[in-house]
A and B are shown apart, each in its own frame.
Chain A
Amino acid sequence: MRLIILFLIGLVFGVGISIGGMANPAKVVNFFDFAGTWDPSLIFVMAGAVVVTFIGYRFVLKRPAPTMDVKFYLPTRRDIDLPLIAGSAVFGVGWGIAGFCPGGALPALGTGRSEVFIFVGALLAGIFAAKFLQSALAKRASAQA
């Protein structure tokens, strides 16, 4: 039952990404191209998603726990560090080059287009490479300590 509900939640997300235009790299890149073929549509995606989530979270997070789990798994860090800023900047560079972000590309896989599979393959390679690098850096840091 829980897994069926989670599948439906993923489905709603996938439909939202699809009709919002986030699965279409041409639309995504045009959103950022003020000097060229600018398409402001995606500000409506961001605004709709953030406002609904902001309001919804107010109600949900007042409850002691989620309905089908023991607790809320919320990020607790509040510090601004170099990996956060550098990583986000690097992500932006990749997003500008390819036009897909992870949340846009996963639903786009459903269209069966080969370009999406190529992007997601490269995305997974990048995640693995970064995780390897992260653990190597952590080992070096603990060896120095």
Chain B
Amino acid sequence: MIETAFTPYASLGGGILIGLASVALMAVAGRIMGATGILAGLLQPSNFADWSWRAVIVAGMIAGPFVVMLFTGEMPAVQVPVSTTMLIIGGFIVGVGVTFGGGCTSGHGVCGMARVSPRSIVATITFMIATIITVYVVRHIFGV
């Protein structure tokens, strides 16, 4: 386990930026800022225009850490407290779950909650509870 510092101001600021990006995407392109939806459409686009808007958003996301480095002088911290095996298993499970669930933290958790969508509220409560239970089992029962 890696202890991390409590960062209320940076986290609130980051959350506000995520919110602004979500509002801007709806205002400009009429789309939900959901990583799952954007990624799924990127893999199976209906045409080039459908692919290109998704591709540039993902490119912008990937450029995010570079902008942070420009201002702070260092890349944002990525501390991985789990093994490669757990990354692979977890990643595969996340991919299956978000596809059937129709969204993840950004799509259901932010945009759907903001729209007060019943499906998104149920999805968000469900995955939050599942994550809490999983972290408890992994860390405190299996002791990984």
Contact A29 B59 (CB under 8 A): no
Q: Which residues of A contact B104 (CB under 8 A)?
A: 91, 101-103
From A121, which residue of chain B is reached at the shortest CB distance? B91
Q: How large is the interface on A (under 10, 10 to 19, 20 to 34, 35 or more residues)?
A: 35 or more
Contact B87 A111 (CB under 8 A): no
Contact B80 A67 (CB under 8 A): no
Q: Which of A17, A50, A86, A130 contacts B14 (CB 8 A)?
A: A17
The smallest C-beta distance from A34 to any residue of chain B, in angstroms, reads 7
Give A44 to B111 CA distance when docked, in angstroms.
16
Q: Which residues of B contact A100 (CB under 8 A)?
A: 87, 90-91, 94
With contacts A16-B21, A119-B91 known, is A37 near B56, CB below 8 A? Answer: no
User: What's the count of A-B pairs with C-beta under 8 Å?
Assistant: 501
The smallest C-beta distance from A48 to any residue of chain B, in angstroms, reads 3
Q: Which of B31, B76, B79, B109 contacts A18 (CB 8 A)?
A: B76
The smallest C-beta distance from A28 to any residue of chain B, in angstroms, reads 9
Contact B22 A53 (CB under 8 A): yes
A145 on interface, CB distance cutoff 8 Å: no
Q: Which residues of A contact B113 (CB under 8 A)?
A: 50, 53-54
Give A88 to B135 CA distance when docked, in angstroms.
16
Q: Which of A7, A48, A69, A84 contacts B102 (CB 8 A)?
A: A84
Q: Could you list which residues of chain B lie within 8 angstroms of chain A, going by C-beta atoms?
A: 1-8, 10-36, 39-40, 43-44, 52-53, 56-68, 75-82, 84, 86-102, 104-106, 108-119, 122-124, 126-136, 138-140
Q: Please name the 4 residue pairs, one residue from A and one from B, whose CB atoms are nearest each other, closest first.
A: A14-B64, A126-B95, A20-B14, A10-B60
| A-B residue pairs in contact (CB < 8 Å), sample of 29 | A10-B59, A14-B60, A15-B67, A17-B18, A19-B13, A29-B135, A40-B6, A44-B12, A46-B15, A47-B12, A50-B113, A56-B26, A69-B30, A72-B30, A84-B101, A85-B122, A90-B96, A90-B101, A92-B126, A94-B90, A97-B82, A99-B80, A99-B82, A100-B87, A111-B76, A118-B88, A122-B92, A124-B95, A127-B43
